[in-house]
Amino acid sequence: MAKYTKMAYDSAEEMIFGTAKFPVKYGRDFEVGGGIVYPELVPHPRPGSEETKKSLMREYERMVNDALERAVNLGFPGIQIELEHVWQMTKNPDWGGDIAGQTRKQQEDFYQKYGLKSAIRATIADNRKPDEENIRDCKSLELALKTFESSAANGADNLSMESVGGKEISDYCIVRQDIRGVLFGIGVLGSRDMEFMWKKIVDIANKYGATPGGDTDCAQANVAMFMAGGMLDKSVPHTFAAVTRAIAAGRTLTAYEMGAKGPTKDCAYEDPIIKAITGIPISTEGKSCACAHADLQGNLIAAVCDLWSNEAVEYHDMFGGTTPAVFTEILGFDVALMNTAIALGKAKDLQEMFINSDLYRDPHSFVVAPHNAYQIGQALVANNTDYYNRARAAAVKSAQLILADGKMLLSNFEKEVLQKTLRELESFPDKESDFIDQCVNAYKKVIPGFNPANYGL
């Protein structure tokens, strides 16, 4: 496995929305990171529509058609549709494959008739349960791999996943603000599981001529982010969640070391760090994913995006049309503004507005701002000897950056949590093997479902 040992960019200033060092071409005349930003629409079926394959295919047919039709009606040049699998689409590999094939035919039709550029991302569900089964040899893994095959064979352009390795540890530790367990669950176990999974995903993508896209720490770092919540929420300290995000960058990077090409997954809020290290195009979500969840970096997270996503919206009627149509319009005009700024030579001005809108709104937005994301990336690649040390270095750097900037206002509680977290990070062993031994012994006692063999330990 080739590990990143230097940054793709000479400085954070080089990074901008719409352009990546290594653009990706696929689909119907669709290039991501080649000079403009495209919308990525993620529609979700209504409960009940998944009861049969026929009803689910009909639901997707309507949703995709509504999105493509609105894009053409409003003069948008292109769109990516993400088929983010509900459980049944991966449990039944032919369902996911046939829906990908149906979507490809719809996109081909709109491309031939109207010149609408388009692509399909298939995000296969990771239904493995790390605390209940052998995740390297289980039925859920077998079905996921078969669904990757069926999706690629039927026309999915981009294969992605939201893998769950290490979640049994991080779920226990996030609510307890146990940074050792978070570093172990995400930085070590999550990375080891991604190495296992992404070798298989890349092989399947190459077999069918699809593009291996990317992964996200949605199952872990996003849990911390959502539990930290907004200004009124107190379930998890915001500073602790921000450090968790930096750790997630080390984990998510593994997909690209294994051969994933991007664009990355939209819900990976660590993506600005990933772009700084790899130069791969990224998909992000912010203010226009309010249909799915709130976050505190709604504008800032667009600063270096190449695809702009709504995260997920369930299929329903609105006054302005169906939800896929409405959110295609919202995303389409969002990226039209970005692309106009690019065309007028004003991209850096708009980027500065994006960043300053949210930079000091929350520690989480602070650490994914391009200039901070770049420094976290530098710390990561400078310590890329193993999964543990790179994730630890990223975590330490994120904490140091937050504490060093006097404009990042913190309550006494948040500051104390961050200082304690930093002290603990700095106290951990330098050798990965020592850290792993320490953690295996500790967490086997308190997490009954934890099986080190799931991670080759």
Q: Using an 8 Å Cβ cutoff, are 73 and 110 in contact? A: no
Say if strands 78-84 and 211-212 run parallel, antiparallel, or are unpaired: unpaired
- What is the rounded distance in angstroms from the CA atom of residue 256 to the CA atom of residue 109? 32
Position 173, amino acid: C
C-beta separation of 26 from 119 below 8 A = yes
Helices (H), 210-369: 221-228, 238-257, 271-278, 323-343, 347-358, 363-368
**Which one, of 177, 161, 315, lies nearest residue 234 by Cα?**
177
Q: What confidence score (pLDDT) does residue 420 get?
A: 99
How do the pLDDT tens digits run along the chain, 457 residues long? 779 999 999 999 999 999 999 999 999 999 999 999 999 999 999 999 999 999 999 999 999 999 999 999 999 999 999 999 999 999 999 999 999 999 999 999 999 999 999 999 999 999 999 999 999 999 999 999 999 999 999 999 999 999 999 999 999 999 999 999 999 999 999 999 999 999 999 999 999 999 999 999 999 999 999 999 999 998 999 999 999 999 999 999 999 999 999 999 999 999 999 999 999 999 999 999 999 999 899 999 999 999 999 999 999 999 999 999 999 999 999 999 999 999 999 999 999 999 999 999 999 999 999 999 999 999 999 999 999 999 999 999 999 999 999 999 999 999 999 999 999 999 999 999 999 999 999 999 999 999 999 999 9
12-455 folds as TIM Barrel (3.20.20)
Distances from the Cα of 26 to the Cα of 108, 156, 261, 414, angstroms: 13, 10, 11, 45
End-to-end CA distance of the chain: 18
Residues recorded for the chain: 457
**Count of H helices and E strands in the chain?**
17, 13
* DSSP secondary structure string for all residues of 382-435: HTTTSHHHHHHHHHHHHHHHHHH-TTS---HHHHHHHHHHHHHHHHS-SSHHHH
Question: Whole-angstrom Cα distance, residue 427 to residue 245?
Answer: 20
pLDDT for res 234: 86
CB 174 within 8 A of CB 227: yes
Burial class (CB in 10 A: 0-12, 13-18, 19+), 435: buried
Looking at the DSSP assignment, which residues form a beta bridge with residue 44? Answer: 314
Residue 290: left (phi > 0), alpha (psi -120 to 50), or beta? Answer: alpha
SS3 state of residue 161: strand
Task: List the domain boundaries for the chain.
Answer: 12-455
Helix (H, G, I), strand (E, B) or coil at 317: strand
